[in-house]
Amino acid sequence: MLPLKKRDFIALLGGAAAAWPLAARAQQPALPVIGFLRSTSIERSAHLVAAFRQGLKESGYIEGQNVAIEYRSAEGQYDRLPGLAEDLVRRQVAVIVATGGDASALAAKAATSTIPIVFTGEDPIRAGLVASFNHPGGNITGVNLMTGEAGSKRLGLLRELVPKAATIAVLFNPNSPGTENHLPDVQSAARSLGLQIGVLNVTDQGEIDAAFGTLARERPDALLVNPDPFMNSRREQIVTLANHYRFPALYEWREYVEAGGLMSYGPSHTEPYRLIGIYTGRILKGAKPADLPVIQSTKFELVINLKTAKALGLTIPNTVLIAADETIE
């Protein structure tokens, strides 16, 4: 073998050194990928995504540093969810996070029996997502929002707000899986309070406008907006119409009240997302969904917009004010 000249050796060494970082980068493992599946707009749910990221951070994961997230949104068109879930399965994500109601979780469960799924749901046992809260079984776990359990409480609040109310209108989305059982619960609670319920089905923006046209003609005493991710995504439209027609209205999520709605009562909307972020981190570290009990979201909050109450000419009873977790002036 011919001896290398000094300058040839330096040139060879320089070329090898330049190649080392490339080789090292090529050998670095790819970041684990989370598939974030949502039934409604992710952009309009930025505060919920932020809560999810906070939970991930508490578990030791930061997006872009040691974990990547692929976002998929059905934009309120629930029939798109199966295809979006299947896309995440083809992407071979490490975990699917299904949010925005049971529809997302059901689509994810139908798409895979092996990839772990973490959900926010409204009645996961009744929907067939899990076998039980303590032992969910299979590849799925998450947080039960317990939205249906608050139906009778919301009607009671409306009765306190409008003591002479006889008829309550309910905006309801029949296309939202997991919420179809809410209506019988509300109707049962209404009977116990001596109230009549009038149901208006809404599945898109145009039907919301049409429903309020009907309400303007029939003039019920108050309005209850049934829990539903699609209607939450249209909250500004609903709040504007309810206030325009001067209906005392009660909603589930505080976002409605922040948008000018009168009153909301329901589980904290951000805390469940922090919790599913924590669960997702635990699964990335090796925990099995079947070993993680479904969390019951028991933190409920009553929020009242006093400015809207004044504009509607309503006096909020002291009993309701005292019970409020927050009032917006």
C-alpha 37/C-alpha 42 separation (Å) is 9
pLDDT score of 23: 45
**What is the per-residue pLDDT for 70?**
97
Query: What is the 3-state composition of the chain as percent helix, strand, coil, each rounded to the nearest 5?
Result: 45, 20, 35
pLDDT for residue 123 is more than 90: no
How many Cα neighbours within 13 Å face the side chain of 278?
12
Taking the C-alpha atoms of residue 200 and residue 241, their distance in angstroms, rounded to an integer, is 15
Q: How many CB atoms lie within 10 A of CB 96?
A: 30
CATH class of the 148-267+301-328 domain in this structure: alpha beta
The span from the CA of 219 to the CA of 236, in Å, is 21
Answer whether 33-146+269-299 and 148-267+301-328 agree in fold.
yes
Q: Which amino acid is at 262?
A: L
Average pLDDT over residues 28-47: 89
Q: Does 256 have pLDDT greater than 70?
A: yes
Is residue 19 pLDDT above 80, yes or no?
A: no
Q: Pull the structure tokens for residue 313.
A: 């000419």
At 175 the pLDDT is 83
Q: Which pLDDT value is given to residue 149?
A: 60
**Beta pairing class for 300-305 and 263-267:** antiparallel
Output the pLDDT for position 29: 65
| Range name among 169-183, 249-263, 292-306, 308-322 with the lowest pLDDT average | 169-183
State whether the Cα torsion 153-325-321-226 is positive or negative: negative
**Residue 104 · residue 37 · CB < 8 Å:** yes
Q: Which residues, in sequence order, are CB contacts of 99 under 8 Å at separation 6+?
A: 36, 37, 38, 39, 45, 48, 52, 119, 120, 273, 276
Q: Is the pLDDT of residue 134 over 70?
A: yes
Q: Please name the helix (run of DSSP H) or strand (run of DSSP E) that holds residue 142, with its range, or none.
A: strand 140-144
* 45-56 pLDDT per residue, tens: 899 999 999 999
Task: Domain 33-146+269-299: give its CATH architecture.
Answer: 3-Layer(aba) Sandwich (3.40)
Give pLDDT tens digits for 200-253. Answer: 999 999 999 999 999 999 999 999 998 888 888 899 999 999 999 999 999 988
- d(CA 217, CA 59) in angstroms, rounded, equals 53
pTM of the full structure: 0.79
Domain ranges in the chain? Answer: 33-146+269-299, 148-267+301-328
Return the structure tokens found at 62: 């930061």
User: What DSSP state is assigned to residue 293?
Assistant: P
Whether pLDDT at 87 is above 80: yes
Token readout for 123 is 């009645």
